[in-house]
Amino acid sequence: MNLIDLPANVPWLSLIWLSLVIPTVIIALMKPERKEEIRIIGAVFSFISLALTLLVYLAYDYRSPEKFQFLEEIPWLPELGINYILGVDGISLPMLLLNGIVIFTGALISWNIEDRAREYWALLLLLAAGVYGVFVSLDLFLLFIFYELAVLPMYLLIGIWGSTRKEYGAMKLTLYLMGGSAFIILGMVAVYFSGTLRTFDMRLLAQSALFPRDVQIIFFVPLFLGFAVLAGMFPFHTWSPTGHVAAPTAVSMLHAGVLMKLGAYGCMRVAMWIFPEGANYWLLPIAIATLINAVYGATIAMTQRDFKFMIGYSSVSHMGLTLMGLAAANTIGMTGAVLQMFAHGVMTALFFAVVGRMVYDRTHTRQFPELGGLFSVMPFAAIVFIIAGLSSMGMPGLAGFWAEFNIFMGMWQRFPLIAVLAGVSIPITAGYILIAVYRVFFGEMKNPEFRHLPGLTVQEYVAGVILVAVLIISGIYPAYLTEPIEASVQPIAEALARAGTLGMRFP
Amino acid sequence: MSFQITDIPRILPELMLLLLGLLVLGSDVLTRWGRGPEAQLERAKEAGQLTAVGLGLVFIVGLVQSRFLFIVPDPSGGPLDVLLTLGRNLQAGGPGGSPILGAFATDEFTMVARLTFIGAAFLTSLLAMGYRLTANPGEFYGLLIFSTLGMSIMAAATEFILAYLALELSSISLYVLAGYFRESERSPEAGLKYFLFGSLSSAIFLYGISLIYGFVASENQKAGGTPIVATLFAEVGRFATGDAASSPLLILGMLFIIAGLGYKISVVPFHTWAPDVYQGAPPPVTAFLSTASKAAGFLLLYRLLTTAFPGAVGTPRLEEFNGWTSVLAILALVTVIVGNLAALPQTNARRLLAYSSIGHAGFLLLAVLIWSSTSPVDRTFGTAALIYYLIVYTLTNLGSFGVLAVLTNALGSDDLSAMQGLWRRNMPLTLMMTILVLSLAGIPPLAGFWAKFFVFMAGYQAGAVPLVTIAVIMTVVSLYYYLRFLKAMWILPAPEDTPFKTPPVANAAIIASTALVVLLGLLPNLIWGTISSAASVAAR
């Protein structure tokens, strides 16, 4: 935006991720009984991190030819080309902002955690710090380290504070994601030794013609798949609904809202950026997988009886659309993908906040047949849920519309048939969202005790308002997102285009 | 080649270990101790303290001598001249020079190894002090020191007989230590099992040596018969080149040697003793056994193969046999698979870690495979990866077995189920165990991650891509059983929640190893430079 100028000698990006590591340490050293102070510290620091990302966002100049700004470089293990390099561009900035929004609202939503609150908050903030780290890293090795840091706390967060087969869900999720990172390790080693540079600096690795074509084609697969597992790509998506359902609310928010985006981000920033020829070769299979993702995910969501499972599968479906934008491999499709990451992140955080905290923590059930008529009890929850639902259907005026529009346009240019088929997911999405709205908030109230549910807390109101506001603002004025995104996506799309049309085609 | 008086400073740490061992043994035996339990406790404490202080001193001497930290400046007439002169003389015996009598190398490689073993023994002595050890403490600590001495010589040996003697010195001490709890059921069984497997393996090793000796001697006869010491690694390396490198006698001898040392490093199929011994031996001994002893085996194997058989390197391909890297590749393959899969169903924590440490041996072998590349840069990298892995593995396993020792002491059981709800009972211990277990699993930013990443890089560069792929997949399998620790400690409900205390000395050892694991993870270049210099010497 370049609306403000920030002093250049401050390590802004390090501050962003450190602003969540510092409270982790503070909280870990506090007495477990001082729960209220712990919550306040957590919320204040996550707000600070949000404010910092906002500052950086406003100060980033997307018109400048230097795509990566706020660079920080410190040698770490320079003998092996491993360095601490931070920087942001138009792709990582919206993601940073998203993470700031979700961790702050997630912190507000976590106010009712009483059991082992100290450990909960420490792990939650550590998780979000890892996510920040991934989005600001320009060194592949550093990115991977932050990536694992973001994944591992999930195991304990779900295992301890979760519900519904939590141990199974936690173990499944962790093993899937670590399986993904095993692929990434393999890809990283190949990246290191196949080029001639012996470095992990992605800016250097992304130079064209660094890797021979066959290396690109072979090792694109582990690198892309490793991240795609986290993005929930078919057929590696089954961990995601199970994990979401088992996780406590704020963790579901962070997980579906940001962590899965981390996978899609890695697919683009690492796999497609470093191996454009490899990406081009595999576009068709990826596009088909994402088509299945989008349509099949939506269909399964329609059949769920558990409210949270429905949201979980809707995430799978929407992440399918995100990956489809990437598979379009052109500027418009990839812009749509990044926008979808942002829009879906905010929207799904809102979904989980409503389902997990506002509804489930009060009614203690998530089964559709047992719910109903909640509009009269909690109108606020109903309204924000409906707004999020409209965004998820792609209603113009909300963030989701612009994202899906761009994705379908991009895919139309690449594989028109797939774009048409994927269009089926839109009415299905509308179907399950409307059904859910009807069954939960309208319809007949099955359980008379629901009339006496406690009202929403201030924190819940604030979180809901923030998320809805972001959805509406991004819907009305999407340019504040699309312009930096487009400027930064363009070089990647151009590299993909340069790599030629040698890939697989329809027979 | 003859022994010079100036060679004495070069083996000073070993001499000090010998003296220390005798001192600990002697001071315990020659003192008249009371009969009561308190006097016995006092006796154990005294022996332990003497050992710990002594090992600490030897460690410092070794560290100064190695010149890794600093180079002592020339005396300049100041008040510290005495110290400076002492330091200068000490460092005169530092890394460098040709091996003493051709048999005992004192290069950087030896220095790193020596420091690792002495450090491990030091931490083990702390763990042992925190454990209820009363019977014959002098023997216990004395044997610990002798075993360390044996390991230091193993890593330095460049001659077969010396290597064999060092191997025996370290092993025989450990047999006794493993069976040290005579009144318990499992400990004598562990000792006996260890002894039987060990003596069989050393017989195989010895047989391999005799075949090699025969090969070298007869080759030397053919070449004209100048008098040589036919058991020096360098002499073997001189003759085992070209066509002679594929002589059946040599290959058979080499296979026997690998098999003999395979038991020491517990690679499949020579691993079967490990789970029983690790589970049965006194916990501090297990900590020592699974770390320093294994590291010593690896370093000896490494030096032996690279200096005695550089002509029979081969390539690490699984489908054909053409040298020792292909043998090691096959061993690595079965070891990572069997070790990690067998760990899955275990319910006893120590047994689980035993299988996990077998799996780690498989990962470690990946680093040695890179010797098939002729580029010195690659070889240096592989060696550095091996040493880094060994140091990190030693620290991590010492720490985690240390935690298990504390648990066994406090809870009377080392089953995974006994660890349930540990966070409620002893938070610091739970936190440290979590860090250590995650490091074993290779989670960044802990040191174990770097170690694994380095060996994967080495394996990839050696051309063993399928093997590396399988190893990477096995790390995911391993994560399952490592997460079981986390699940037991953090998630499952506690059978009881009375808090217990960690003995302060044991706590110090565990804190030290955990802190180093974290530190080396955050700043791997703290030791990477030193290791690289040691590795480049070894790779020459």
Residues B349-390 pLDDT 10s: 999 999 999 999 999 998 888 888 888 888 888 899 999 999
Average pLDDT over residues B52-68: 91
Percent of chain B with pLDDT over 90: 48
pLDDT at B99: 85
**pLDDT of A464 over the 70 cut:** yes
What's the full length of chain A, in residues? 507
Contact list in B for residue A79 (CB cut-off 8 A) is: 525, 528-529, 532
Task: Decide if A4 is inside a domain.
Answer: no
Cα–Cα dist B513/B530, whole Å: 19
Task: Decide if B168 is inside a domain.
Answer: no
Neighbours of A299 (CB within 10 A): 16
Which residues of B lie closer than 8 Å to A, measured between beta carbons?
Answer: 423, 438, 443-445, 449, 453, 456-457, 460-461, 468-469, 472-473, 475-476, 479-480, 483, 486-487, 490-491, 524-525, 528-529, 532
**pLDDT of B413 over the 90 cut:** no
Mutate to test the interface with A, among B383, B490, B520 (most CBs of A within 10 A): B490
What's the token pair of residue B384?
Answer: 């550095």
With CB atoms and an 8 Å threshold, state whether A156 touches B480. Answer: no
B399 is in which domain, residue-wise? 313-540
Mutate to test the interface with B, among A156, A167, A177, A221 (most CBs of B within 10 A): A156
Contact list in B for residue A171 (CB cut-off 8 A) is: 480, 483, 487
Contact list in A for residue B480 (CB cut-off 8 A) is: 171, 175
Percent of chain A with pLDDT over 70: 98
Contact list in A for residue B524 (CB cut-off 8 A) is: 76-77
- φ, ψ of residue A83 to 5 degrees: the values are -135, 160
Mutate to test the interface with A, among B525, B527, B533 (most CBs of A within 10 A): B525
Q: Give B533's pLDDT tier (boundaries 50, 70, 90).
A: confident
Mutate to test the interface with A, among B340, B474, B483, B520 (most CBs of A within 10 A): B483
**pLDDT of B498 over the 90 cut:** no
Name the average pLDDT for chain B: 88
With CB atoms and an 8 Å threshold, state whether A189 touches B468. Answer: yes
Q: Rounded to 5 degrees, what angle do the CA atoms A494, A499, A502 make?
A: 135
Which chain A residue has the Cα nearest residue B447? A145
Cα–Cα dist B39/B51, whole Å: 18
Burial of B30 (0-12, 13-18, 19+ CB in 10 A): exposed
With CB atoms and an 8 Å threshold, state whether B472 touches A79. Answer: no
Cα–Cα dist B236/B254, whole Å: 11
B250, B371 contact by CB (below 8 A): no
Contact list in B for residue A189 (CB cut-off 8 A) is: 453, 456-457, 460, 468
**pLDDT of A231 over the 70 cut:** yes
Mutate to test the interface with B, among A119, A142, A177, A186 (most CBs of B within 10 A): A186
Which chain A residue has the Cα nearest residue B529? A79
Task: Decide if A1 is inside a domain.
Answer: no
With CB atoms and an 8 Å threshold, state whether B491 touches A160. Answer: yes
A303 is in which domain, residue-wise? 12-498
Please give, rounded to a whole number of angstroms, the shortest distance from the CA of A178 to a CA of chain B. Answer: 6
pLDDT at A459: 87
With CB atoms and an 8 Å threshold, state whether A182 touches B456. Answer: no
Between chain A and chain B, how many beta carbons pairs sit less than 8 Å apart?
71
Which chain A residue has the Cα nearest residue B421? A160
Cα–Cα dist B161/B167, whole Å: 10
Which chain B residue has the Cα nearest residue A145? B444
**pLDDT of A209 over the 70 cut:** no
Residue-wise pLDDT tens digits, A182-191: 999 999 988 8
**pLDDT of A502 over the 60 cut:** no
Contact list in B for residue A190 (CB cut-off 8 A) is: 460
With CB atoms and an 8 Å threshold, state whether A174 touches B479. Answer: yes
Residue with tokens 């190894």: B113
A70, A12 contact by CB (below 8 A): yes
Total domains present in chain B: 1
Q: Give A492's pLDDT tier (boundaries 50, 70, 90).
A: confident
Please give, rounded to a whole number of angstroms, the shortest distance from the CA of A469 to a CA of chain B. Answer: 37
Q: Residues of B362-376 as b/e, b for ≥16 C-beta within 10 angstroms?
A: bbbbbbbbbbbbeee
Residue with tokens 């299905």: A428
With CB atoms and an 8 Å threshold, state whether A193 touches B457. Answer: yes
Q: Residues of B218-238 as b/e, b for ≥16 C-beta within 10 angstroms?
A: ebbeeeeeeebebbbbbbbbb
Average pLDDT over residues A380-392: 89
Task: Decide if B40 is inside a domain.
Answer: no
With CB atoms and an 8 Å threshold, state whether B456 touches A185. Answer: yes
pLDDT at B98: 83
Contact list in B for residue A179 (CB cut-off 8 A) is: 473, 476
CA distances to A397, A480, B25 from A476, rounded to whole Å, are: 5, 10, 83
pLDDT at A125: 92
Please give, rounded to a whole number of angstroms, the shortest distance from the CA of A104 to a CA of chain B. Answer: 25
With CB atoms and an 8 Å threshold, state whether A189 touches B443. Answer: no
Considering Cα of B332, then B338, then B341, then B343, what sign does the dihedral take?
negative
Which chain A residue has the Cα nearest residue B525? A77
Higher pLDDT, residue B340 or A502? B340
Residue-wise pLDDT tens digits, A161-199: 888 788 888 888 888 988 898 999 999 988 888 877 888
One DSSP character per residue, A143-163 reads HHHHHHHHHTHHHHHHHHH--
Contact list in B for residue A167 (CB cut-off 8 A) is: 487, 491
Contact list in B for residue A183 (CB cut-off 8 A) is: 472
CA distances to A32, A383, A444, A450, B114 from A376, rounded to whole Å, are: 38, 11, 11, 10, 75
A177, A151 contact by CB (below 8 A): yes
Torsion, Cα of A437, A442, A445, A449 (10° steps): 70
pLDDT at A478: 87
**pLDDT of A505 over the 80 cut:** no
**pLDDT of A274 over the 70 cut:** yes
With CB atoms and an 8 Å threshold, state whether A190 touches B460. Answer: yes
Higher pLDDT, residue B76 or B506? B506
Cα–Cα dist B110/B95, whole Å: 8
Contact list in A for residue B421 (CB cut-off 8 A) is: none
Task: Decide if A504 is inside a domain.
Answer: no
pLDDT at B274: 92
The answer, yes or no, to whether the previous bond of A235 is cis (omega within 30 of 0) is yes
With CB atoms and an 8 Å threshold, state whether A148 touches B460. Answer: no
Cα–Cα dist B123/A437, whole Å: 62
With CB atoms and an 8 Å threshold, state whether B528 touches A79. Answer: yes
Cα–Cα dist A86/A69, whole Å: 9
Chain-centre distance for alpha carbon B164: 16
Q: Give A501's pLDDT tier (boundaries 50, 70, 90).
A: low
Which chain B residue has the Cα nearest residue A166? B491
Average pLDDT over residues A224-243: 88
Residue-wise pLDDT tens digits, B131-170: 876 678 888 999 999 999 999 999 999 999 999 999 999 9
Name the average pLDDT for chain A: 87
With CB atoms and an 8 Å threshold, state whether A193 touches B479. Answer: no
Task: Decide if B305 is inside a domain.
Answer: no
pLDDT at B513: 94
Contact list in A for residue B487 (CB cut-off 8 A) is: 159, 167, 171
Query: Which three-class secondary structure string do you get for A431-495?
Result: HHHHHHHHHHHCCCCCCHHHHHCCCCCHHHHHHHHHHHHHHHHHHHCCHHHHHHHHHHHHHHHHH
Contact list in A for residue B445 (CB cut-off 8 A) is: 145, 149
Task: Decide if B248 is inside a domain.
Answer: no
Percent of chain A with pLDDT over 90: 24
**pLDDT of B277 over the 90 cut:** yes
Total domains present in chain A: 1
DSSP A2: -
Q: Give B337's pLDDT tier (boundaries 50, 70, 90).
A: very high
**pLDDT of A280 over the 60 cut:** yes
With CB atoms and an 8 Å threshold, state whether B479 touches A189. Answer: no
Please give, rounded to a whole number of angstroms, the shortest distance from the CA of B278 to a CA of chain A. Answer: 28
Average pLDDT over residues A473-498: 87
- Closest Cβ–Cβ partner in B444, B491, B525 for A145: B444
Cβ neighbours of residue A284 closer than 8 Å, sequence gap 6 or more: A415, A503, A504, A505, A506
- Closest Cβ–Cβ partner in A76, A148, A179 for B525: A76
**pLDDT of A2 over the 80 cut:** no
With CB atoms and an 8 Å threshold, state whether A159 touches B475. Answer: no
Which residues of A lie closer than 8 Å to B, measured between beta carbons?
Answer: 76-79, 119, 144-145, 148-149, 152, 155-156, 159-160, 167, 170-171, 174-175, 178-179, 182-183, 185-186, 189-190, 192-193
